[in-house]
Amino acid sequence: MAASQFPRSCRSVPALSRSILLHATSRRSLYSPSGAPPKWRPSSALDEWVQREARPISLRQLTFFGRTLTESRLLSSANYVRTELPTRIAHRLRDMQTLPYIVVSNSHLSHVYELYYKAFEKLRRVPEIRTIDDNDRYCTVVQDTLREHLTVIPQLAMGVLEIQGLMKPEDTDKFMNTMLRSRISRRTIAEQHLALTETYHSPWHFPDAKVQVDANSDFVGEIFLRCSAKEIVEKCATATQELVRKAYGSDTPVPEIKIQGHLDATFPYIVSHLEYIVSELLRNSFQAVIEHNHKRPEPPPIDVLICETAQHVIIRISDEGGGVPPEILPYLWSFSKGPRRQLRLENLNRVPRMAATIQDLKIGPRSSDWKTTGNGDSSLSSLTARSPDLRLGIGLPMSRIYAEYWAGNLEVHSLEGYGVDAFLQISKLGNKNETLTTRASMDA
Ligand code: COI
């Protein structure tokens, strides 16, 4: 919005205060006594978008939708994303506007606010997508926004650490949970649409064919229909062992991983979400076992048990790493409180842009062609692939948000002096909607 559209008195205030002020004045003080906005003043676009409810989707719906990818389905997917992104961002902007002013004027949080406002203004203006060319242009806009928002996680994480004492810790954590959950949801629907568009353009896809050439493919966009718990654990274990060796030195004995139980369990899932959670849990276990057993030439193994039930797959990861230190235990799920605050802030400062998942990493460096993916950008850190000594304090709470997003669950039981049992429960039917609101477990 041009500066000339603001009342004269607002022109010198920073952008965040301007938009809050404008918002406040357009809603309240400039209204006539009857409560109706005066005719000469347009009502806030944000007010309009906040009236809309987000329309949650399930893995099953996403799969069904993308299975036979016709032009009309791709355009419907584009228009779903076109209206969902500004709706979901509008709700988060409104959340931020209701925070105490001193909180939202924190430099990191106002950076996020400005990014979101800019994205909202850009995305809400995209007209209906009617052709494949419209869609390709739209995908470029989405891809650019995904890339621009790679600063959001470290900025939010630093912001909530810095505002300590200005808000109740439980309110800060609730705010952070809502922001991150919503971010996952937006990135999921955006990335799924980009992946479908990529499939649509791929040489082996014939949109008019009655039988799809790729009908037997195990992937629908980002969804892997036969995600194997055992294979994911193995893959994450190998990658994490590698990181651990780098951090502790190649002669440090690294614990073995023993996988038992229902080794054939498969389910539909977004692989990058599961890899994020499993890698995070394994990192914690490796680190604890190595540090707790540093004198033993052969550290005790990390036991992984996979259990499949009618509705769920449960992955239990048990280590003998001595348990969570009692001074940290009460803050295990908190983004804002706990010891080591200073260290966390310093470490977060070292990662200005952060990819939460492998999927985020694929967004990579700026390119004018959204179909060109791949990461060649060394300033971009992945939350999963970071060195285990880079303690940020957000891996575990973030993992629980990922787990709950597709109606799953994550619990950690610490046996003081002995070790930790982490239970990850996955809803295996894919029929549950994404969780957009903060779950009860967050309120506790
Ligand atoms: C985010 O990463 O926070 C987003 O909202 C991205 C989306 C607008 C494409």
Strand partners, 269: 224
Tokens standing for residue 363: 């967004």
pLDDT at 244: 86
Q: What is the pLDDT of residues 205-228, one digit of tens each?
A: 766 654 454 555 788 988 999 999
Closest CA to 232 of 384, 14, 56: 384
Ligand 1 pocket member 190 (CB < 6 A): yes
- Asked if 21 and 13 count as a contact pair (C-beta separation under 8 A), the reply is yes
Q: What is the pLDDT of residues 125-181, one digit of tens each?
A: 999 999 999 999 999 999 999 999 998 988 898 898 888 889 999 999 999 999 999
CA of 89 to the centre of ligand 1 (A): 8
Whole-complex ipTM:
0.95
CA of 149 to the centre of ligand 1 (A): 6
Ligand 1 atom at minimal distance to the Cα of residue 152: 3
Angle formed at CA 66 by CA 63 and CA 72, multiple of 5 degrees: 145
Tokens standing for residue 269: 């899932």
Ligand 1 pocket member 183 (CB < 6 A): yes
Ligand 1 pocket member 187 (CB < 6 A): yes
CA of 187 to the centre of ligand 1 (A): 5
Ligand 1 atom at minimal distance to the Cα of residue 145: 9
Ligand 1 pocket member 90 (CB < 6 A): no
CA of 329 to the centre of ligand 1 (A): 32
Is 79 exposed, middle or buried, given 0-12, 13-18 or 19+ CB atoms closer than 10 A? middle
Q: What is the pLDDT of residues 413-425, one digit of tens each?
A: 999 999 999 999 9
CA of 277 to the centre of ligand 1 (A): 20
Instruction: Identify which of 153, 183, 189 to mutate to test ligand 1's pocket (most ligand atoms within 8 A of the CB).
Output: 183
pLDDT at 164: 86
315 three-state secondary structure: strand
Atom 3 of ligand 1 has which residue's CA nearest to it?
Answer: 183
Ligand 1 pocket member 145 (CB < 6 A): yes
Using 70 as the pLDDT threshold, list the residues of the chain that sit under it.
1-43, 206-216, 295, 343, 345, 347-392, 438-444
Where b means 16+ CB within 10 Å and e means fewer, 85-123 reads bbbbbbbbbebbbebeeebbbbebbbbbbebbbebbeeb
Ligand 1 pocket member 354 (CB < 6 A): no
Ligand 1 pocket member 85 (CB < 6 A): yes
